A and B are shown apart, each in its own frame.
Chain A
Amino acid sequence: MLEELQFGFPLLSVLVFLPFAGAIAVWVQRDSDLMRKTTLGVAIVELILAALLLLKFLPDSAAMQFVERLEWIPALGISYHLAVDGISVLFVGLTALLTVLIVLYSWETVQTNLKAYLMSLLGLETTVMGIFVSIDLILFFVFWELMLIPSYFLIKLWGVGEHRQYAALKYVLYTLLGSVFMLVGFALLSLNHYRVTGAYSFDLLDLLTVPVPLDQQLLIFWMIFLGLAFKAPIFPFHTWLPDALVQGPIGMSVVLAGIKLGTYGFLRFSFPLLPEASAHPAVTRVVMVLAVIAIVYGAIIAIVQADFRRLLVFSSISHLGFVVLGLFALNFQGIQGSLIQMINLGLTTAGLFFFAGFLYDRLGNTLVHAGGGLAAKMPVLAAFLLLIGLASIGLPGTNGFIGEFLILLGAFQAHWFYGVICVSGVIFAAAYFLWYYERAIFGPVGRLVPHVLKDLNQREMVIASTLSLLILWIGLYPAPFLRMINGSIQVVVDRLEQGVLAHHGGENEPPLLATSSLRK
């Protein structure tokens, strides 16, 4: 499989385990400055490797690339199988980028227990990378669960809120609750493979070759849905999110809000493996309604928040509603828009969380009434915040517009009703962000604002300008990014169409024949 693309070393394994090795390197050091530099060095090397991956990635292709495959537990059909395709490749880059930015952000803001913090951060990067490059379902699950451990410590030990203990435990238990169901779903898929072929397998590519009966598909779909919905989180499974994102440290909020693991799972596993269930009217209707509720509910709640971080949490719930809506429109534009929007949110929502951090470091909180007239004191911060904020509400010329426009197209194709809701969500988004901006950043200088406020320092400038550059790049010239994802999306859409046909056309042939293109 595409041997000519392999480098002299297993690139994906290195991407996954380099941060882990970095964590060990940090562990043996004593000097805190050296620890920071080691972490940053590892994160930058990781980013370079990820950039190499993106450059060498063959666009317009649905093939699994950079494949690495070893047997792990043959008795249960579990293998160590890594690969990237259009669905996952951009996430690898995003994860590497955000980690570098988080390390930069934490340079001075995290002082207590620094070693453990940097180790947790690098550990987190390993697990998130692992999630995106795993093709074996159990391997995916291993990283998925493993991610909880660094997350738990990050929220608990370096959280800023009073209730961080509660938030950390809630996050772990909620995610665990969902993921055990997901594990059963995976096991049922494997069992189905066993019934058809006589061998267990948890390999995505193997599982794609065997048809799953519709009633089983529905059961498995809901099982996996629970796991993904808790992680995503989709309304009404979102209640852990405000706690974790407000109580936790900024770095953790950036990862949880910026890297959309849950919705990635739909595209990676649910759609290709369970096309008939995914296209089943009962399923799409329920999920679409949940998405619509999330869009409107999240936006309305965001408007009335008195705290910028809480506002961001609910705006991110609303944005995630868009992504889910686009996915379950089940057409090319919708899915394409959702995928690119997941990357966009990794730049915009995560960027806004960085800015919440900047404000917190200066004002001691992120409350709206603690601000007022900040633009006069910190013009650069205000300008970047405006740009990223406008991108998050989908201003033309920014990346948010590309994503939302495509989702909107897809939603209208699915049903005009969803399209209308989508549009209303965009308007709400403009309302909550601009109103916040007007109250906190513009206007006369507030009573509680300190006299001396430093504008962005160098490190913060790097964070803000990197994100802004990417926002404008995707906004003005999205073609290279879209080309990377198109091939894989087309395959997913083809499979889904067969699922749709099975419901409407009454065709009885097994729906899962379009696997050859995936395995070329």
Chain B
Amino acid sequence: MTFDLVLSGSDLLLLAPEIFLTVWLCVVLAIDFSIKNLDHENIAYLSVGGVIATLLNLLWFDYLGVTGTLFHDMFVLDRLAIFFKIFVLLSTVLVILSSIDYVKSFRFFRGEYYFLVMMSALGMMFMASAHDLLSVFVTLEFSTFGFYVLVAYLRDDVKSNEAGLKFFILGVFAAGLLAYGVSLVYGETGTLVFSEMAHTPGSYGLAIGFLMIFAALGFKIGAVPFHSWIPDTYHGAPTPVTAFLSIAPKGAAMAILIRMFYVALAAFKPTWVLLFVVASILSMTYGNIVAIAQKNIKRLLAYSGIAQIGNVLIGLAAGTKRGSDAILFYLLTYLFANLGAFAVVIGVGNLIKSDEIEDYNGLNRRSPFLAAAMLIFLLSLAGVPPLAGFIGKLYIFVAAIDQELYTLLAVGLINIIISMYYYLVVVKKMYINEPVDPSPIRVSIPIKTVIYVGLAGTLILGIYPRPFIEWVVAATLMFSNVTDMVAAALPHGSGG
């Protein structure tokens, strides 16, 4: 393999969003260094402006249909990559907005916080474009470095330090697994590019290699049995970082998973379906059952996130075009509902300095807006119609029924009921119980903005999902042949 780096102007165009964001975050950092006494809020809005500009750039690309590959297929820009980049950037904007009040509690390095958030986002943008095992490794590590620092950002808080250390040690372990897996796969196939692996014969080395890569990515998305870092890290990290961690890396890693299994390993589908079925069942069941016992809202959302990823994995277990559509749509619904819920947690936490579920008693009295928003987000996470989560779950389950995965389906359905229980417990505390301290909770404008965006997303995706479904269907158009390969006998659906 020779690396002759040839770049032309049109190639650079494909990298325009990343290049722009890189320049922007350097500028933000420079401004933070050079101007003394600059309020960190300005830095935050500056960051938001840059991320939104990148977002618009990507939307424009999506509209124009810009696609292409760079660096010997290491970097690919297609509609799937654009979808996940938009996904990551959207969550970045919302996370930065919901951080503004929280950052006030940091004593040092307020400006650098935004820099690190944007840098992680940049890494995840590259993850969405990774089309080669080497770029998978590099981009995964790139995006995680920012998080290592962010998780431990509360320097004086033991929990935050503990969270950072756990996240770091397990993250490095996962990176080691990933590197070893990549080397095994390279040894068996002689290539690192996904599309070139598609026709290699199966072997034990290949299987072990991909299992290791799956373990590393499973760590990122927090699927059981690679979830052990999640509860403590989520609990200890600054809440906006937890929110970020619970959405963006999952989306970016899911982009890699879909690409890897749909492109490189399409031929081995019967084998890996089982892998996802097991991971999905374990994640849903474990996440939901353990969530019941939680006393801290961040831990509750951590476990519910594990369970939600179990639902997403149903789509991968289906292994069809419809499955990938469903994953994308589900992630979108999860983005709005989960970030919205975290925004409420941040809003409440900023004021009462507590994340215990007990302290949500009588939230309805203290802030009807926050309580109603939380109600809608939790119900959407539980999958109650006509909210976004319902359509997402419906889509995922239809994909599973397509492939006659009835066991998985049964487990998934039972889990919906279990999850309904603990979401309702929180609802009960907010609406029925009496508050200890009835003083009203004021919500700042940035947090309100995030909550409104979350509410709008949750309602629009539920009531009028059509344009979004068309978007995700178009984003995974390249996987149409996956369906044909598996179920060649079926006529092609009008829905596809």
B229-253 vs A: 1/0 string, CB under 8 Å?
Answer: 0000000000000000000000000
B95 to chain A, nearest CB (A): 29
Q: Are B384 and A177 touching (Cβ within 8 A)?
A: no
Q: Are A194 and B466 touching (Cβ within 8 A)?
A: no
Contact of B432 among A71, A141, A157, A187 (CB under 8 A): A157
Given A153-B431, A172-B424, A187-B401: A142 in contact with B416 (beta carbons within 8 A) = no
Q: Are B469 and A149 touching (Cβ within 8 A)?
A: no
A108–B168 Cα gap in the complex (Å)?
62
Q: Are A187 and B398 touching (Cβ within 8 A)?
A: yes
Contact of A180 among B391, B402, B417, B473 (CB under 8 A): B417
Q: Are B391 and A146 touching (Cβ within 8 A)?
A: no
Give the interface size bracket for B toward A.
Answer: 35 or more
Is chain B's interface secondary structure helix, strand, loop, or mixed overall?
helix
Set of chain A residues within 8 Å of B473, measured between Cβ atoms: 75
Name the residue on A nearest B409 (C-beta).
A184
Set of chain A residues within 8 Å of B465, measured between Cβ atoms: 73
Binds A, one of B9-17, B125-133, B342-350, B488-496: B488-496
Q: Are B432 and A156 touching (Cβ within 8 A)?
A: yes
| A87 contacts B by Cβ under 8 Å | no
With most chain A CB atoms within 10 A of its CB, the pick from B397, B473, B494 is B494
Set of chain A residues within 8 Å of B386, measured between Cβ atoms: 142, 146
Q: How many A-B residue pairs have CB under 8 A?
A: 91
B375 to chain A, nearest CB (A): 9
Query: What's the tally of chain A residues with a CB closer than 8 Å to chain B?
Result: 37
A176–B379 Cα gap in the complex (Å)?
13
Given A145-B385, A146-B384: A156 in contact with B417 (beta carbons within 8 A) = no
Set of chain A residues within 8 Å of B431, measured between Cβ atoms: 153, 156-157
Residues 171-211 of A at the B interface (beta carbon under 8 Å): 172-173, 176-177, 180-181, 183-184, 187-188, 190-191, 194-195, 198-200
Q: Are B432 and A165 touching (Cβ within 8 A)?
A: yes
Name the residue on B nearest A187 (C-beta).
B401
Set of chain A residues within 8 Å of B385, measured between Cβ atoms: 141-142, 145-146
| B413 contacts A by Cβ under 8 Å | yes
Set of chain B residues within 8 Å of A152, measured between Cβ atoms: 424
Set of chain B residues within 8 Å of A73, measured between Cβ atoms: 391, 465-466, 469
A76–B496 Cα gap in the complex (Å)?
9
| B286 contacts A by Cβ under 8 Å | no
Q: Are A76 and B417 touching (Cβ within 8 A)?
A: no
Name the residue on B nearest A71 (C-beta).
B466
Contact of A138 among B379, B384, B394, B420 (CB under 8 A): B394
Q: Are A149 and B379 touching (Cβ within 8 A)?
A: yes
Set of chain A residues within 8 Å of B417, measured between Cβ atoms: 173, 176-177, 180
Contact of B495 among A148, A181, A188, A199 (CB under 8 A): A199
Name the residue on A nearest B492 (C-beta).
A198
A349-386 vs B: 1/0 string, CB under 8 Å?
Answer: 00000000000000000000000000000000000000
Set of chain B residues within 8 Å of A75, measured between Cβ atoms: 325, 466, 469-470, 473, 495-496
Set of chain B residues within 8 Å of A157, measured between Cβ atoms: 431-432
Name the residue on B nearest A178 (C-beta).
B417
Name the residue on A nearest B415 (C-beta).
A180
| A435 contacts B by Cβ under 8 Å | no
Q: Are B428 and A181 touching (Cβ within 8 A)?
A: no
B484 to chain A, nearest CB (A): 14
| A169 contacts B by Cβ under 8 Å | yes
B455 to chain A, nearest CB (A): 15
| A77 contacts B by Cβ under 8 Å | yes
A167–B495 Cα gap in the complex (Å)?
42
Name the residue on A nearest B425 (C-beta).
A169
Given A149-B379, A153-B431, A176-B417: A77 in contact with B495 (beta carbons within 8 A) = yes
A180–B412 Cα gap in the complex (Å)?
10
Q: Are A181 and B398 touching (Cβ within 8 A)?
A: no
| A416 contacts B by Cβ under 8 Å | no
B435 to chain A, nearest CB (A): 15
A197 to chain B, nearest CB (A): 9
Q: Are A183 and B395 touching (Cβ within 8 A)?
A: no
A177–B395 Cα gap in the complex (Å)?
19
Given A138-B394, A184-B413: A195 in contact with B401 (beta carbons within 8 A) = no
A80 to chain B, nearest CB (A): 10
A142–B384 Cα gap in the complex (Å)?
8
A76–B391 Cα gap in the complex (Å)?
10
- Pairs A-B, 5 closest by C-beta atoms: A142-B385, A180-B413, A198-B491, A199-B494, A75-B495
A71-B466, A145-B384, A172-B420 given; name 6 further pairs at CB < 8 Å: A74-B466, A76-B469, A77-B495, A142-B386, A149-B379, A184-B401
A-B contact pairs, 20 of them (CB 8 A): A71-B466, A74-B495, A75-B466, A75-B473, A76-B395, A76-B495, A142-B386, A146-B384, A146-B385, A156-B428, A172-B420, A173-B421, A176-B416, A176-B417, A180-B414, A183-B413, A195-B490, A198-B491, A200-B493, A200-B495
Interface residues of chain B, those whose CB is within 8 Å of chain A, are 325, 379, 384-386, 390-391, 394-395, 397-398, 401-402, 409, 413-414, 416-417, 420-421, 424, 428, 431-432, 465-466, 469-470, 473, 490-496
